[in-house]
Amino acid sequence: MKVHQAIARTLADIGATQLFGLIGDGNLYMVDSYVRQGGGRYVGAVHEAGAVLMALGWAQVTGRIGVATVTHGGGLTNAVTPLVEGVKCRIPMVLLAGDTPMEDREHLQKVNQHEFVVATGAGFEQLRSPRTVAQDVVRAFHRAWLERRPVVLNMPIDFQWQEATLEKVSLRFPEVRSATTSSADMDNAIGIIASSRQPVVLAGRGAMAPEAQAAIRRLAARIEAPLTTTLRGKDLFQDDEFNLGFCGTLSNPLALEVLMKSDCIVAFGASLNKYTAALGSLTTKKRIIQVSPHQEDIGQYTQFEAGLVGDLDMVADAMVALMDEAEIPGSGCRTGELREQIRNWQPARKMRREPRPGCVDVLQALHALNETLEPERSYATDGGRFAIAAWAEIDVQTPRHFVHTQGFAAIGQGLGEAIGAALGSDGRPTLLVAGDGGFMLGGLSELTTAVREKLDLVIAVCNDGSYGAEYIQFTKKDMDPALSLLAWPDLAPVAQALGLAAVTVRSSDDLAGAMAALKARERTRPFLIDFKLDPEVMPEF
């Protein structure tokens, strides 16, 4: 067995059944073996960045390690931005990257791949020899999962036609279940909760497991505290009568009022970064209890008074048991008045100003989209000023189905991750909401991948004909925003030429017709909606 075949066989042995990539000299024989001999599913991207983004999106909705492959040189350097995104979002992923022959110093695509990978923050593993193929592949996957980041396995091309020594391997991780049930920090946490009169329970994406969510709800009910989430924990408590929604810079006015008055935050599976803390305004002068299964997460961004390490459900249930044992009463914060305020609060459904003729109201469009598309869906956004409204307006059933693409705050990453999410969504439709700038930057050509794979992918482009953040900066300083305005081609005909179904929305009447077409869409053909928006009537950061 050759090395390229041994790599493919090892991927099959450890259950890596989905591979995204772009083939070249450094990986094409491995990909061929993966498909023909290993029986794996390969999705070819148009651009290397798209391949890595697809693996990131797939990993988020499946909860498994994403796998992608690129060739050497420019193939790897094209993937640098998505690797940074994966690092910042802590997404386990393995990138199988070819490398040029060691002996050929003048190879046109030769570059120090190790230095590029390390600069992104990703892990780097070298395929050491034809005798260690299985060990090296498994180690890359092992590190990706435990370190919660992408790991690049570097595959020199001069190894790949050598005879390999292949051993049977498996990929296993020890089951670790633990809870801090007795410690000074636990005693301190119970004391803080007992003395609190306005506690709030906060959960992040780390709390999305059903057993963690249920235990956190039990704790919040026991201490009579309202619930709130980070952006990445979106809609975790959507059906709870004391759910405040987002905590942080995205908080609605009612949530902000409650959070500002709170005296204690009990945070589960949340990093408490500056956006969750609203630049510190929501954590200052509050007693913080932070709970995470990962010790390194506690206190990374925010000072805490009690830090508890362990499985979230076990820690939450231990806290309830200790409060019951000590007969500590609830805080009284869950009042009938607060329940009614939450029940009666409604977000704005239209912008304060009417858009110019030929444009639709962005809030009206997003609300219609949320109401029309099936609720069992995966949901991704790109970056841009539209995203604030899109994050708040579009619902998901669990955070697992919310694909976050903004760890690096780079526009243009939404389409790739949405394609990966669609391929991992088990028949659910996938919605991507993108700005026109991010949509064009992210590779219009990658639409052909979605068409080829016959995805039930709905793409809503919030098209204000500008780079919105830059438009805001120019106008706020009384400068001419002309440099931020862009004359794109009409996107619907372009999408149709690439094989999508597509409609354009320029008014409320168009919106009704577009939603009817959305309901009647073919589930094996991507569907694009071009929302024409007024750049002067848009949500602001």
Residues 315, 393 within the same domain: no
Residues sharing a CB contact under 8 Å with residue 201, sequence separation 6 or more, in sequence order: 216, 219, 220, 223, 225, 226, 227, 228, 265, 266, 268
Give a yes or no: residue 177 inside a domain: no
- Domain contains 538: no
Tokens of 115: 């230095």
Residues 399 and 403: their CA atoms lie apart, in Å, by 8
Report the 3 state secondary structure along 156-180.
EHHHCCCECCCCCCCCCCCCCCCCC
Examine the domain organization and report whether 150 and 290 are in the same domain. no
328 and 287 co-located in one domain = yes
**Span 407-416, pLDDT tens digits:** 999 999 999 9
Give the pLDDT confidence of 270-326 residue by residue, as tens digits: 999 999 999 899 998 899 999 999 999 999 999 999 999 999 999 999 999 999 999
CA distances from 127 to 89, 102, 136, 309, 455 (A): 26, 12, 6, 35, 35
β-partners of residue 203 are: 229, 268
CATH number of the structural domain spanning residue 91: 3.40.50.970
Which residues, at least 6 apart from 513, have a Cβ–Cβ distance to it below 8 Å?
Answer: 503
* For residues 431-455, average pLDDT: 94
Kindly state whether residues 7 and 120 are assigned to the same domain.
yes
DSSP 286-355: SEEEEEES-GGGTTSSS--SEEEES-HHHHHHHHHHHHHHTTPPP-S---HHHHHHHHH----SS-SSPP
Domain hosting 329: range is 184-344
Does the pLDDT at position 540 exceed 80?
Answer: no
Residue 67 pLDDT exceeds 70 = yes
Output the pLDDT for position 104: 82
pLDDT over 70, % of the chain: 100
Asked whether the predicted pLDDT for residue 541 surpasses 70, the reply is no
Identify whether residues 94 and 198 lie together within a single domain: no
Packing angle, helices 184-195 and 312-325, rounded to 10: 60
75-105, pLDDT tens digit by residue?
A: 999 999 999 999 999 999 999 999 998 888 8
For the packed helices 3-13 and 133-147, what is the interaxial angle rounded to 10 degrees? 40
The answer on pLDDT for 182 being more than 90 is: no
Q: How far apart are CA 469 and CA 270, in angstroms?
A: 27
Same domain, 24 and 55: yes
Pair 421, 522 in one domain:
yes
My answer on whether 34 and 131 are in the same domain is yes
In terms of domains, do 152 and 190 share one? no
With H, G, I as helix, E, B as strand and everything else as coil, classify residue 535: coil
Position 308 in a domain: yes
Q: What's the gap between Cα 108 and its chain centre?
A: 36
* Domain assignment present for 350: no
Tell me the per-residue pLDDT of 214-248, one tens digit each, with 9 for 90 and over.
999 999 999 999 999 999 999 999 999 999 999 99
* Same domain for 211 and 140: no
Distance between CA 38 and CA 53 in Å, rounded?
Answer: 23
Q: Do 270 and 315 reside in the same domain of the chain?
A: yes
What phi and psi, each to the nearest 5 degrees, are found at residue 456?
-85, 75
Task: Say how many domains are in the chain.
Answer: 3
- For the segment 156-185, the average pLDDT, to the nearest whole number, is 85
Average pLDDT over residues 334-363: 92
Instruction: Report the predicted TM-score, pTM, of the whole model to 2 decimal places.
Output: 0.95
Report the residue count for the chain: 541
Domain assignment present for 259: yes
Both structure tokens of 476 = 């706020």
180 has pLDDT over 80: no
266 and 332 share one domain: yes
Predicted confidence band of residue 258 (pLDDT cuts 50, 70, 90): very high
DSSP one-letter string for 92-150: -EEEEEEE--TT-TT-TT---HHHHHHHHT-EEEE---TTSHHHHHHHHHHHHHHHTSE
| Cross-sheet strand order for the sheet of 306-309 | 243-246, 227-229, 199-203, 264-268, 287-292, 306-309
| pLDDT band at residue 176 using 50, 70 and 90 as cut-offs | confident
- Could you give the CA distance from residue 389 to residue 250 in angstroms, rounded to a whole number? 9
Q: Read off the CATH number of the domain in which 261 is found.
A: 3.40.50.1220
Residue 226 lies in a domain: yes
